A and B are shown apart, each in its own frame.
Chain A
Amino acid sequence: MSFKPLKTVTSRTLVLQPANIDTDQIMPAKFLSMTTKAGLGEHVFANLRYDAQGELTDHELNSEEGKACEILVAGHNFGCGSSREHAPWGLTDYGFRVVISSEIADIFKGNSLKNGLLPIIIDKRAHQWLLDNPGADVTVDLENCEVRLPRNGGTYNFEVDAFSRHCLMEGVDEMGYLAAQDDAIAAYEDERV
Chain B
Amino acid sequence: MSKTLFDKVWTRHVVVPETSAHPATLYIDLHLIHEVTSPQAFTVLRERGLKVRRPDRTLATIDHSTPTLINADGSRPYVTEQAEKQVETLLANTEEYGIETHGWDSDNRGIVHVMGPELGATQPGMTIVCGDSHTSTHGAFGAIAFGIGTTQVGHVLANQCILMRKPKTMAIHVNGELGKGVTPKDVILAIIAKIGVGGGTGYALEYRGNVFEEMSMDGRMTVCNMSIEAGARCGMIAPDETTFSYLKDRKFTPENYDAACADWASLATDEGAVFDKEVHLRAEDITPMVTYGTHPGMGISIEAAIPAAADETDQGALDYMQLKAGEKIAGTHVNKVFIGSCTNSRMEDLRAAAAIFKNRKVAKSVTAIIVPGSVLIKARAEDEGLDKIFIAAGAQWREAGCSMCLGMNGDIGAPGDLVVSTSNRNFMGRQGPGVRTVLASPETAAATAIAGVITDPRNVETAA
Contact = CB atoms under 8 A, between A and B. Distances in A.
Interface of A: 1, 17-20, 22, 24-25, 28-30, 32-37, 47, 52, 75-77, 80-85, 88, 103, 105-107, 110-111, 114-115, 161-163, 173-175, 177-179, 181-182, 184-185, 188-189, 192-193
Nearest to A164: B23
A95 B99 CA distance: 36
Given A75-B313, A80-B197, A107-B147, A33 B65 contact: yes
20 contacts: A1-B154, A20-B294, A25-B429, A29-B406, A29-B430, A33-B82, A34-B82, A34-B86, A35-B89, A47-B428, A81-B228, A82-B133, A84-B36, A88-B149, A107-B146, A110-B152, A114-B151, A177-B163, A182-B159, A185-B25
Ranked nearest first, the 9 interchain pairs of A and B with the lowest CB-CB distance are A111-B149, A85-B149, A83-B147, A77-B198, A35-B39, A83-B133, A114-B151, A85-B150, A163-B22
Contacts of A192: 12, 27
Given A25-B428, A80-B198, A161-B23, A179 B159 contact: yes
Contacts of A88: 149
A57 B231 CA distance: 31
Contacts, number: 182
Tell me what chain B mostly uses at the interface: helix, strand, loop, or mixed. Answer: loop
A19 B132 CA distance: 23
A184 B231 CA distance: 32
B83 A33 contact: yes
Contact of A37 (B40, B48, B312): B40
Nearest to A18: B313
Interface in B125-155: 131-133, 146-152, 154-155
Contacts of A30: 407-408
A85 B151 CA distance: 8
Given A32-B408, A85-B149, A24 B427 contact: yes
Interface in B389-408: 406-408
A101 to B, nearest CB: 10
Given A1-B151, A17-B313, 13 more contacts: A32-B64, A33-B36, A33-B65, A106-B167, A107-B233, A110-B148, A111-B151, A161-B23, A175-B48, A185-B161, A188-B27, A192-B12, A193-B29
Nearest to A104: B201
Contacts of A115: 151
A32 B36 contact: yes
B437 to A, nearest CB: 11
A182 to B, nearest CB: 8
B15 A184 contact: yes
Interface in B184-199: 197-198
Contacts of B406: 24, 29, 82
Contacts of A114: 149, 151-152
Interface string B306-346: 00000111001000000000000000000000000000000
Contacts of B155: 174-175, 178
Given A17-B312, A77-B197, A83-B149, A184 B16 contact: yes
Contacts of B364: none
B433 A161 contact: no
A28 B435 CA distance: 13
Given A81-B425, A83-B37, A20 B198 contact: yes
Contact of B415 (A35, A52, A103): A52
A175 B161 contact: no
Interface of B: 12, 15-16, 20-23, 25, 27, 29, 36-37, 39-40, 43-44, 48, 50, 53, 64-65, 80, 82-83, 85-86, 89, 131-133, 146-152, 154-155, 158-161, 163, 165, 167, 197-198, 201-202, 228-229, 231, 233, 294-295, 297, 311-313, 316, 406-408, 415, 425, 427-430, 433-434
Nearest to B56: A193
A181 B27 CA distance: 12
A185 B198 contact: no
A35 B85 contact: yes
Contacts of A52: 415, 433-434
B184 to A, nearest CB: 21
Most buried by A among B40, B50, B312, B415: B40
B410 to A, nearest CB: 9
Contacts of A47: 428-429, 433
Nearest to A84: B37
A85 B39 CA distance: 12
A93 to B, nearest CB: 13
A68 B23 CA distance: 34
A177 B433 CA distance: 42
A33 B408 contact: yes
Most buried by A among B152, B160, B165: B152
A32 to B, nearest CB: 5
A182 B15 CA distance: 10
A106 B227 CA distance: 13
A81 B427 contact: yes
A84 to B, nearest CB: 7
A175 B158 contact: yes
Contact of B313 (A1, A20, A24, A85): A20
B267 to A, nearest CB: 15
B15 A175 contact: no
A82 B408 CA distance: 13
Given A33-B408, A181-B16, A80 B295 contact: yes
A139 B44 CA distance: 33
